[in-house]
Amino acid sequence: MYNIFSPTPVVKPIDLKVEMSSAPKKICEQEDKVYQLTAEVRAILSNRKSQESRMLTYEFFKKLHNNIEQEMLSEVDPNSTACHDPHVEALLEKLITESKGCENFNPHLFKRIKMLSLLKKRLKNMLQEIEERNQKLSNHVIASTSPTLSLLSPASTCSNSMTEMMWQGALMEKPTSKMADTLAKTYPNCVVKMLLALLARERRKIINQLQAKQEKLVTSVKRDLFNEIKKGIMAYKVARQEWVDVMRIVMHYNKIKESLTEKDLGGSSNSSKSDYLQETILKEIEDTKKRLDKGNGKNEKLTDDICELNKSIHVITEKIELEQVQAEDQLRAFQNEICTEKSLIMNRTQTISKLEKMIKATKK
């Protein structure tokens, strides 16, 4: 007997269908390697700062590198009026101070552009070191977790293609009793239970994602509806203002007409002026009426669009409610299936234990 994942139930050799005396020793070595690599990763991570501070430091150095490039370009251009970065200036002063400590320091040879180039190279090397360190850490984490996957490998007597088909079927549909027997014989009980739990969790994730997607769609439709209503209100205000302007012109025209009638001016000159004024007013009235008709058409179109959007929202809301009910029913069915399969696996495990005891008793 050997315990693969402490403190999970003990897995017997007959459950794994592996008859090798060296198997426990190999698994122990694999577990030791996993624990050793995990300890190394934790030791490395304990001495590192938080991910946010490291990213801010990397971005700061990258920004300094870009600023140095800009200052090098401004040094080449004599007409440049660009301001100097205070951080770059401080680094240059520190670099000059360090260079003065050298024996072969010559201030005439160290021009500003050369110092900027040297500072740029140092920052570039620093950025490369940070990137390489992050890559090495990522590779180390992957390498430390990969031995754990080998512990879940099936028995040597089990065909790889059959195992892949079995796992694919378990992911696509509910496990059958035959498949449960195969899983119980091929893998430890803890791994089978973990698979069922993972299936339930993944299905729950899918249902939650669908629900979030539907809620996002409803929010988007409501936002579009609000924008359309807002546009319709603005168009209505514009049309009403045009109508007020038309009525003002009509009232002004009626007043002018009444005054001309009362005075009874007569004469060709006065009549021509009155005709010109009347034509101008009538033309303005016609133009305003056209704009008013156009605005009314837009309002009618917006009203129809609002009705269609309300219908669409109603249909989508009903569909979402129906899908939510179906998703809840499906989730409950999945949970019941998992409980049933767990009980079947436990019963089969007990049966196998009894058969083992019977075999041992027969041998004695």
pLDDT in tens, 112-152: 788 888 888 989 999 999 889 888 877 776 665 444 444 44
Pair 294, 192: CB distance under 8 Å:
no
* Residue 109: per-residue pLDDT: 53
Digit-coded pLDDT (tens) for 226-264: 888 888 888 888 888 888 888 888 888 888 877 777 766
Range in 25-29, 54-58, 112-116 with the lowest mean pLDDT: 25-29
Rounded (10°) angle between helices 189-263 and 160-172: 40
Pair 345, 192: CB distance under 8 Å:
yes
Range in 220-234, 253-267, 294-308 with the lowest mean pLDDT: 253-267
Which CATH number among 1.20.1640, 3.90.930, 1.10.10, 1.10.287 corresponds to the domain 201-363? Answer: 1.10.287
- Tokens 């056209």 identify what position? 290
Pair 151, 27: CB distance under 8 Å:
yes
Beta bridge partners of 11: 2
CA dist list (Å): 172 to 166, 175, 178, 202, 257 = 10, 9, 16, 11, 86
* Residue 104: per-residue pLDDT: 61
Give me the residue spans of the domains in the chain.
19-154, 201-363
* Residue 316: per-residue pLDDT: 86
Range in 250-259, 262-271, 352-361 with the lowest mean pLDDT: 262-271
pLDDT at 318 > cutoff 70: yes
pLDDT at 303 > cutoff 80: yes
Percent of the chain that is helix, strand, coil (3-state, to 5): 85, 0, 15
* Residue 242: per-residue pLDDT: 84
**Residue-averaged pLDDT of the chain:** 73
Higher-pLDDT residue of 247 and 177 is: 247
Cite the DSSP H helix spans in 47-111.
51-76, 86-100
| Mean pLDDT computed over 48-62 | 82
* Chain-centroid distance, C-alpha 277: 67
